[in-house]
Structure 1
Amino acid sequence: MSAACKKLINTVEQCVDENLEGLVAVNPGLQLLEGLRVVVRTDVGPNVVGAGKVSLLSGGGSGHEPAHAGYVGPGMLTAAVAGSVFASPPPYSILAGIKAVSAPGSAGVLLIIKNYTGDRLNFGMSAERAKTQLGVKVEMVVVGEDCALTSSDKTAGRRGLCGTLFIHKICGALSDEGKSLEEIVTVAKDAASKMGTIGLSLTPCSIPGSGPSFHIADDEMELGLGVHGEAGVKRTKLVSAKEAVKMMIDHMTNSSNCTHLPVKEGDRVACMINNLGGTSMLELNIIAKEAIELLERRGVLVERAYCGTYITSLEMAGISITLLHLDDTLRRCLDAPTTAPAWPHPLLPPGTLTRQTPVRMPRENIQAQVTKTGPKMATIGSAEASLIFDCLKLAGERLVAAESQLNELDRESGDGDCGSTMARGAQGILTSLGSKDSPNLPVSCPGDLALTLASAAEDTMGGSSGGLYSLFFTAASASLQTKVSPDAYCEALKAGIQTMMKYGGAEPGDRTMLDPLHSASQAWSVALSSHTPLEAFRLAVEAAEKSAEETAKMKAQAGRASYVSADHLKNPDPGARAVAVWFRAVLEALSS
C-alpha cells in the first residue's frame, strides 16, 4: 500500500460507522439511530420536539468530516445523515432522520443539502415521502456556491461547498428564535445567493481501500477542485501563499465568470478559511492572514473570520475560501450561541461585536517594565576590539559554510535542521556586525557583546539551540563585567557551561554540544597557568575538536538524539561539531 493510501482504520466496510460511533462517544449530547448512519441530538425525540421550532436536517457523503454530523447540536442542526464515503445517503436513512426530528406540533423540517445530483435526488425523494406518507411539513434548501465554473454551458450546476456550513448556522439561529419554516427558507435562500467559495488543492485524496483519486505533480496545484476530487478549472505551478490567495479571490470575484461573487469596496463579509484535510494549521493561519489583508486592502469590511477544519476531502492537502455578504440579521445569526462540536468560536475583544484586524501592541508598553540598567561593563582597547570583530566574522562565516554538513549529521538523530539553525543565527550576527571601522555590535565591551549575542540567539536561531546559546552568553557576560582577560574569558566559558547544565539538563558525556565546551574549558583552565594565552586557547580548541568527534561513540542521554536507537547514531553530534567549527574559527582569527 502506498503512503498516500495509508489509513488508520479497522476495515473499509465499517469505517463510516465507526467514525460516527467515535463522534458520539466523544460528544454524548449526540446519539445514533439504531442500525442507521443518522446522528441526532439527545435533547430531541417524540416526547421533546413540538415546542414550535423548526427542525434542521442535513447530510451527505462521508469523508468530509467534521461535516456533517459535527454540526449537530443546539443552535445548529437537529440531525445529520451520513452516506458511504463520497456517496449520498439512501432515502430510507434520510426518511428515518426526518421521522426522528418530527413530532405533532413541530414547526416542520428543513433539509439543507449541497448541490450534488445524488443528494438532490435522495433528499428530495425523502422529502416527498415524508409529506405524503407522514404528513410532515418539509422544505429543502439546496446550496450551490462554488465560484470555480467559468463556462455558461449547461452543467449540473454550482457545487455546494463550505458555504453550506454558514447556512446551517444561520438556520439554526433562526430556528432557536422561533422563526417559521417559511421565514427560515426565505433567509437561507437569500444567504445562499450572496456567498461564494473557491477551492485549491495541492494533493489528491484516497478513498479507504483505493488509491489516489487523481494525480498532481509535486510542483503543481489545482484551482477550483471539488470536494470529491472533481477536476478544477486550471492547474498551475505551485506559488506562494500570498499569490495563491490572490489567484483564488481574483477568480472568485471576476465578473467575466458566470459563477462569480460580486465583491466591492464597502461590502461587509464573513470569511471562512477551510482545510480540505491535509493542510497544517500553520499554513491555514498564513492563508487567513493573506486573505483578510487582501480583502481589507480592497476596502472590504471583514466583519467575521473563521479559520480551521470545517469540511474536508479526507486527507487532501488544500484549502477553500468562502465569502458571505453580511447584513445585521446574518451577522446576528452567525454570532448566536451553539454547542455543535465543530462550529468555530473566534475570540473577539471583550464587550465588542466588531471584528477588526488588531494593530500590533507597541513594544514600549512592556519594555519599561522589563528593561533594567545594568552595571557598567569593562571595556577593551581598539586592537583587541578589532580582534573580536575578526573572530565574530570568521566564526559566522564558517557556521554558514557548514550548514549542509551539520544538517546531514542532524538527519541521523533529529529533523535535519541543526545546520540551518546555526547558519540562521550566524547570518543574523554577520548582518548586524557592520564594518570593522564602524562596527554595529559592542565589540569593545565583551560583557555587553555577550548579552547582544544572547539576544541574537533568541531572536534569529530559535529552538533549543537558540535557548541554550542565549543562556550560555547571558551567564558568560557576568564574568566579563569588571575585567577582561584570558582568565576572565575562561571563567565566562565555565559560567556559561554551568548555566546550560542547570537549565538544559545535559551533562558532560551525554553526547551534546556541552561535551566540546566542557573539554575546552578544562583544557583551557589548566593550560593558562603554564602557556601563553594564545597557546592555551589552541589547546582548548584541540580538546573541543577531539571531544566533538568522540561524541560519535557516546550514548545519547539528552536532547533529541536520546530518543533514537544507538544503532542509528554513527556520526558525531551536530551541535558538538558546530561548537568545534566556531572554536576553530576563533583560533584562526586570533592567530592571524
Structure 2
Amino acid sequence: MLSAAVAGGVFASPPPTSILAAILHLQNAGASGVLLIVKNYTGDRLNFGLAAEQARNRGVAVAMVIVADDCAFERPSKAGRRGLCGTIFVHKLAGALAEEGFPLDQIVAKVTEVLKRIGTLGVSLSPCSVPGCLPSFQLPPGDMELGLGIHGEPGIKRSKVSCADQVVKTMIDHMTNPSSESHLPLNSGDSVVVCVNNLGALSCLEMAVVTRAALSTLEARGVVVARVMSGSFMTSLEMAGISLSLMRVDPEVLRLFDANTSAPAWPNLSSVCVSAREYTVEPPALCTWSQEADSHPEGEGGILYVRFVHPVVTTLKVRVICCTLYSSGPLSPVMRTALQRVSSSLLDTREELNALDRASGDGDCGNTHAQAATAIQEWLCSHVVPGCPGQLLSVLAGLVQEKMGGSSGGLYSLFLTAAASHVMEGRSHASDWANAMHAGTQAMRRYGGAEPGDRTMLDALCPAVDELLKVTAAPPGGEMATLQAAVKAAELGAESTRDLTARAGRASYIAAERVTQPDPGAVAIATILRAVLESLEGQL
C-alpha cells in the first residue's frame, strides 16, 4: 500500500525535513516517482508542499493528491472539506496502481477521479485529550457530537445519544443530503465500499453493533454493499466515537481495492507473511559546519569550511574565505536578547494559547509555539548569533521548519525565509525590517491561502506590518514610536478576531457560535511582537 509514512507530533503535521527525508529515501531506493497523499489541513498542505518543492529542486518526480472527504458542512469554508478516514481508500487504490506499474501521472488522474466518490462523517460520545492537556472540548453526559474531525476538534452540532440504528441513519442522511455542498451523491443501485472506523475507544462489541446498523441502513436504501471494513484505521487518541466512510465503486475500482497487499493492518490477510523490516528514516542533514583554526594566508580573516552532507549526494567540502556565517556583529547582542525574550514569553503563554485553541481547534497551539521557543533557546546556548540579520532569519526558518511542526511551523518558516533577503549585511535599517516583515506576510498569504479577516494570525500580523511600513515617513528617532504603534495594532487585531467568522484554519470547521475567544495564532503573533518591543526598549 504505502512505501513510506511520515509522522509529526500529536495532531500536528510533520516538518518538511522529515517529509523530504522520506522522498529522498524512496528515490534512493529506485522509485521513479513519489506520490504524496495529503489530508486537507493547512499545515499538511504547507509542509508537504514545501517538501515537494524541495524534492523537485533535487530532480525528483513528485506529485501531491489532497484528500477532502468530510461531509459535515453544508457550506464548507474557503479552507474546504477536511481529510478524514476516506484517505485510506486512496492509499489502497494508489498502492495497487503503483504495484501494477502505472506511471505517476496516471495514478494521480485515477485517484483524483475516485476522490469525488468518497465521503466521511464522524460522531463521538466523548472528546479526546492531547497527552498532558485538558480535553479538547466539553461534552455533557448523554450528548453526542456530530461532524467532528480527527484532531480533537468539536463537530457541527450536538444531540442526545440514541440507539445505533438511529445514529447511523442520521449520519448517512446527513452525508447524502443533496442540499449540502459537501454531500456524497448516493442512489439506489449504487455499489459502495464501507469503512466503519473506530476513533479510538470503542469496544469490538460496539463496533460490531454500529457496523450492522450501517449495513442495514444502506441496504434499506437499495445500496449494494460490495465490501465492508470495521476496525481502527484512523483514530483520534482515546475518543469514544466512530467515523463512517463510503466509496462508490465500479468493477475497476473494486478490483484495485481487492488487490493483494502485505500491509499488516489491512483486513482479511491471515495468510500473508509480513517481514519485520524497519522503515523509519531520519531526516537528512542538509548541512554541517566545521571551522578550521588556520587563517587566510594574507591575514584577512578566518577560513570557514562548509561541508554539505546529503544521504544521496557525495559529501562536498567548499573553502570559503572570510565567511561571516557565525561571526558576530553590532546587532548580535540585541538580536540575542530579543530572541531570549520572545522564547520566554511564548513559554509563559503556553497554557493560555492551548486554552484558546481548545475553543477553536485541537488545543495544541501553545505546545507548538513552546516547541519553537525551546528549540531557539537550545540553539542560543551553543551558537553565536550571526551578525547579519538575514542569516539569523534563515537559521530560524530552518529551526521552526524542523522543530515546530503543524501549520504554524510551515507558515513561520515561509515568513522568515521570505523576510531574510531584505535584511542582509548592511541592510538593517528600520525601513528594511519593515520591508522584510511585509515580504514575509505576503508569502504567508500566497502559500497559506488566508487573508486578513479570515480569523487567523494574519489579523494581528497585517495591521502591525501596515504600521511598520509608515517608518519611512517617521521623523528622525521615531522608529521606536512606530514599533510601539505596530505592537498595539497587532494586539487590537488579535482581540478583533473574537468577533470574526473563521474562514481558514481548523476554526473554520466549527460552528461560529462556539468560537467566541480570540484566535490563538493571532494572540501568539501579538505576544512575539510585544516581546521584541520590550527587549528593544531595554537596550536602545
What is the TM-score of this pair, normalised by structure 2?
0.49
Higher relative contact order (CA 8 A, sep 6+): 2
